[in-house]
Chain A
Amino acid sequence: MNIYQEELLDRYWHPKNRGSVDNASFSATEHNPLCGDTLTITARIEHAILADVKFNGNGCAISQAAADLLTESLTGKTIQNARAFSPDAMRMLLTVPISSAREKCALLALTAFQKGLTSSYAHN
């Protein structure tokens, strides 16, 4: 099955959450050592809820579409629910089958987000 379905490409070309949030509670950057791609997630937490989550960076269609889907899905979630957001949940969100070679691309945004969330809570 071709992973480049219309919905994924549309996300890649017209992301809804590209940018950075104002008054961010945390910012976290993750690199894909395979290709040198970089992704930064910023999020603002209000009353233990993710009020706003955005991403910035450049990369392949998979990593960029995944970042857009993830940031949209996380917005409005409680910290507890966001922390429980697993790689499997990310795969389901993408709907297309991801080969192990592209796993790092698909999970780049989630890895950055979880890293940021963890470090943010370590500070508090």
Chain B
Amino acid sequence: MNSPNNTNTTRAEFPLLAANPALAYLDNAASTQKPKTVLKAMDAFYCTSYANVHRSVYDLSERATAQYEDARGRVARFLNAQPQEIVFTKNATEAINLVAYSFGGGEVREGDEVLVSILEHHANFLPWQRLCARKKARLVVAPANADGTLDETSALALVSPRTKIVALTALSNVIGVPTPLARMIERAHQHGARVIIDGAQAVAHKRIDMRAMDADFFVFSGHKIFGPAGIGVLAARAELLETMQPFIVGGEMVKTVFLDNAEWNDIPWKFEAGTPPIAEAIGLKAALDFIESIGWQRLHTHEQTLTEYALERMRALKGVHIIGPKTFSSGRAPIISFTVNGVHPHDLASILNERHIAIRSGHFCAQPFLNALSYSAAARASFTIYNTRAEVDALIEGIAAAQKIFRV
């Protein structure tokens, strides 16, 4: 088979990729493909153990509940947290909204400040913008350096006794560069502020340790780490979850309901109103098994090799401008945003699509950040374990072909 992808054995573990040998899927920062083990785990659950959870005394329901809670335990081990500190949500976005409503709603008052960074995805920007508007609090935005990395000096200086919450991404979904989490968290805690870390990008590239990181809240989505869409995670200190009001109310999250009041369930179930994404939790567990079976060291080595190679080949292309740092540095994720002189990102993506290359084009749900860097749109290629050097070559050839069509 004359495919650019037949050198990567991991690719065979992904049914969609195995069925489309010509496809170069380079949009992994938006969502990853799913390995067979994840699909099989969900299928097996539906075929052998499906029922609603935490409701009934029959065997099937007990089995479903045990598997759902086992998945929670797996997530807790993955993050070095306790099971009661793991709340299942729809995705990272819902988890951040939960914290903004339930924690921010209780803690933030008029005149207080919430600090975010200009690098944030809309998901870690809009919930805070809205909270501040609702509470007459001030949304403070930490700026970026000229190269797009967080201006750490300014960011640290913006934390003050007025700061109640610091909301920060662990890794930019635009430039693929990590933020100085440890120093920001330490500074926030010195001033009594709580910290929420958006781990949507970071979780698929580095080992997360809630204890070592010392963050108060950490969120991620299952679908960006080889798991199914429809499940996300909020990891939070138990003592904070205990004091927070529920985000959504309804079934399952309550112990006793009276006509005029109710007693909430224990954590974490207090935050899981309604029937949860049960099979998705089980799929997420299989996804975490998958990424740990690959091993962080092998993943890092593969990602670094691809990123260095892609950056090198892109730097050599005339008219291509890489957004953010143009060379690899430690902690850099395999995410490269760029523009091509004379070729609009949407046109580039269309031309690459005809060559079976899937990249992202647009503003990556980070409009304030792109605008701060003076872009309205860009293209983005992002890699993971199943991508190959041959796919990077195909991308480079595709960019050159687009330049030829547009005569630039």
Interface, chain A (partner B; CB < 8 A): 2-4, 9, 34-37, 58-62, 99, 101-102, 105
State which of A2, A35, A61, A99 has its C-beta within 8 Å of the C-beta of B362: A35
In the complex the two chains form, is B363's CB within 8 Å of A35's CB?
yes
Considering only residues 332-378 of chain B, those with a C-beta below 8 Å from chain A are 344-347, 350-351, 354, 361-363, 367, 370, 376-377
Q: Which residues of B contact A36 (CB under 8 A)?
A: 362-363, 367, 370, 376-377
In the complex the two chains form, is B344's CB within 8 Å of A60's CB?
yes
In the complex the two chains form, is A60's CB within 8 Å of B405's CB?
no
In the complex the two chains form, is B345's CB within 8 Å of A35's CB?
yes
What residue of chain A has the Cβ atom nearest to residue B344's Cβ?
A: A60
Kindly state the separation between the CA atoms of A60 and B154 in the bound complex, as whole angstroms. Answer: 36
Q: B406 interface residue, CB < 8 Å from A?
A: yes
Q: Select the residue from A35, A61, A101, A105 with max chain B CB neighbours within 10 A.
A: A35
What residue of chain A has the Cβ atom nearest to residue B345's Cβ?
A: A35
Q: Output the least CB separation between B64 and chain A (Å).
A: 38
In the complex the two chains form, is B376's CB within 8 Å of A35's CB?
yes
Kindly state the separation between the CA atoms of A37 and B367 in the bound complex, as whole angstroms. Answer: 12
Q: Which residues of B contact A105 (CB under 8 A)?
A: 346
Q: Which residues of B contact A34 (CB under 8 A)?
A: 346, 362
24 contacts between A and B (CB under 8 A): A2-B351, A2-B405, A3-B350, A4-B347, A4-B350, A4-B405, A4-B406, A9-B406, A34-B362, A35-B344, A35-B345, A35-B363, A36-B363, A36-B367, A37-B376, A37-B377, A58-B376, A60-B345, A60-B346, A62-B346, A62-B347, A99-B350, A102-B346, A102-B350
State which of A35, A58, A99 has its C-beta within 8 Å of the C-beta of B361: A35
Q: Which residues of A contact B367 (CB under 8 A)?
A: 36
SS class of chain B's interface: helix, strand, loop or mixed? helix
In the complex the two chains form, is B344's CB within 8 Å of A59's CB?
yes
In the complex the two chains form, is A2's CB within 8 Å of B347's CB?
no
Kindly state the separation between the CA atoms of A99 and B354 in the bound complex, as whole angstroms. Answer: 11
Kindly state the separation between the CA atoms of A15 and B376 in the bound complex, as whole angstroms. Answer: 22
Kindly state the separation between the CA atoms of A3 and B405 in the bound complex, as whole angstroms. Answer: 11
Besides A34-B362, A35-B346, 15 new A-B residue pairs in contact (Cβ under 8 A), listed by A number? A2-B405, A4-B351, A4-B405, A9-B406, A35-B345, A35-B376, A36-B362, A36-B363, A36-B367, A36-B377, A59-B346, A60-B344, A61-B344, A99-B350, A102-B346
Kindly state the separation between the CA atoms of A3 and B406 in the bound complex, as whole angstroms. Answer: 12
Q: Output the least CB separation between B384 and chain A (Å).
A: 23
Q: Select the residue from A3, A60, A62 with max chain B CB neighbours within 10 A.
A: A60
What residue of chain B has the Cβ atom nearest to residue A64's Cβ?
A: B344
State which of A58, A61, A99, A101 has its C-beta within 8 Å of the C-beta of B347: A61
Q: Which residues of B contact A60 (CB under 8 A)?
A: 344-347
Q: Output the least CB separation between B61 and chain A (Å).
A: 42
Kindly state the separation between the CA atoms of A62 and B344 in the bound complex, as whole angstroms. Answer: 10
What residue of chain B has the Cβ atom nearest to residue A3's Cβ?
A: B350
Q: Output the least CB separation between A12 and chain B (Å).
A: 9
Kindly state the separation between the CA atoms of A82 and B351 in the bound complex, as whole angstroms. Answer: 32
Kindly state the separation between the CA atoms of A3 and B377 in the bound complex, as whole angstroms. Answer: 21
Kindly state the separation between the CA atoms of A35 and B360 in the bound complex, as whole angstroms. Answer: 10
Q: Output the least CB separation between A18 and chain B (Å).
A: 16
Q: Output the least CB separation between A3 and chain B (Å).
A: 7
Kindly state the separation between the CA atoms of A36 and B367 in the bound complex, as whole angstroms. Answer: 8
What residue of chain A has the Cβ atom nearest to residue B342's Cβ?
A: A13
Kindly state the separation between the CA atoms of A122 and B405 in the bound complex, as whole angstroms. Answer: 44
What residue of chain A has the Cβ atom nearest to residue B349's Cβ?
A: A101
Kindly state the separation between the CA atoms of A3 and B370 in the bound complex, as whole angstroms. Answer: 28
Kindly state the separation between the CA atoms of A9 and B376 in the bound complex, as whole angstroms. Answer: 21
Q: Which residues of A contact B376 (CB under 8 A)?
A: 35-37, 58
Q: Which residues of A contact B354 (CB under 8 A)?
A: 2
Kindly state the separation between the CA atoms of A86 and B370 in the bound complex, as whole angstroms. Answer: 34
Q: Which residues of B contact A58 (CB under 8 A)?
A: 376
Q: Which residues of B contact A62 (CB under 8 A)?
A: 346-347, 350
Kindly state the separation between the CA atoms of A58 and B376 in the bound complex, as whole angstroms. Answer: 10
Please name the 9 residue pairs, one residue from A and one from B, whose CB atoms are nearest each other, closest first: A60-B344, A60-B346, A36-B376, A35-B377, A35-B362, A60-B347, A61-B347, A36-B363, A34-B362
Q: Which residues of B contact A99 (CB under 8 A)?
A: 350
Q: Which residues of B contact A61 (CB under 8 A)?
A: 344, 347, 406
Q: Which residues of A contact B347 (CB under 8 A)?
A: 4, 60-62
Kindly state the separation between the CA atoms of A80 and B129 in the bound complex, as whole angstroms. Answer: 44
Q: Which residues of A contact B406 (CB under 8 A)?
A: 4, 9, 61
Q: Which residues of B contact A59 (CB under 8 A)?
A: 344, 346
Kindly state the separation between the CA atoms of A49 and B190 in the bound complex, as whole angstroms. Answer: 68
Kindly state the separation between the CA atoms of A50 and B406 in the bound complex, as whole angstroms. Answer: 33
What residue of chain B has the Cβ atom nearest to residue A98's Cβ?
A: B350
